[in-house]
Structure 1
């Protein structure tokens, strides 16, 4: 596997610049994996978020929703375990879109 193949296998982080030569996760940060919807497969940096903030879910800006300039809603599933520390600590699931 060459360097280009390795880059394709690395996940992108939501909000990373499209021109960023290394838009993947950093080893000392904590992420939520976005599952389903328009941002499926991206990682959201949740480093430093309080437990209440993580449990509330997010509304993320994207042009890929039903309404241009709207937001995609992602929420954790109640009771789904989360891993402590850096890396992917939990999943957020697409629950809808909003203008």
Structure 2
């Protein structure tokens, strides 16, 4: 199993031992980029909020502490598309 296959269906930011989706929570799928296939917990957000997220990742272009920028799809609010990687902030 490669890294991409391992990450698919796991929740971004969850503990490795308990990284699957939880009942009663709402998730959006991250599409493309270093976090492709991960789920983002958007429980409690309404409509199309948030529109974009910058998520910390160790596997993006800028390595540990870098960010992967994802933007919510206009036609499908349950998916966020990767736009770019950015360096982390100090």
TM-score, scaled to structure 2: 0.78
Write the distance in 1 (CA, Å) between the matches of 2:29 and 2:22: 14
Partner of 1:34: 30
- Indicate the structure with greater helix content: 1
Write the distance in 2 (CA, Å) between the matches of 1:52 and 1:77: 9
Partner of 1:17: 15
2:84 alignment partner, SS class: strand
What 5-or-longer segments of structure 1 have no aligned partner? Answer: 1-7, 83-89
Write the distance in 1 (CA, Å) between the matches of 2:56 and 2:86: 10
- Name the larger-Rg structure: 1
Deviation at 1:26?
A: 1.0
Write the distance in 1 (CA, Å) between the matches of 2:59 and 2:69: 12
Write the distance in 2 (CA, Å) between the matches of 1:66 and 1:24: 26
- Aligned residues: CA RMSD: 1.8
Residue pair 2:10, 2:20 contacting (<8 A) in 1 also: yes
TM-score, scaled to structure 1: 0.71
What 5-or-longer segments of structure 2 have no aligned partner? Answer: 1-5
Equivalent pairs, count: 80
Structure possessing the higher relative contact order (Cα contacts under 8 Å, 6 or more residues apart): 1
Write the distance in 1 (CA, Å) between the matches of 2:46 and 2:66: 25
Deviation at 1:23?
A: 1.5
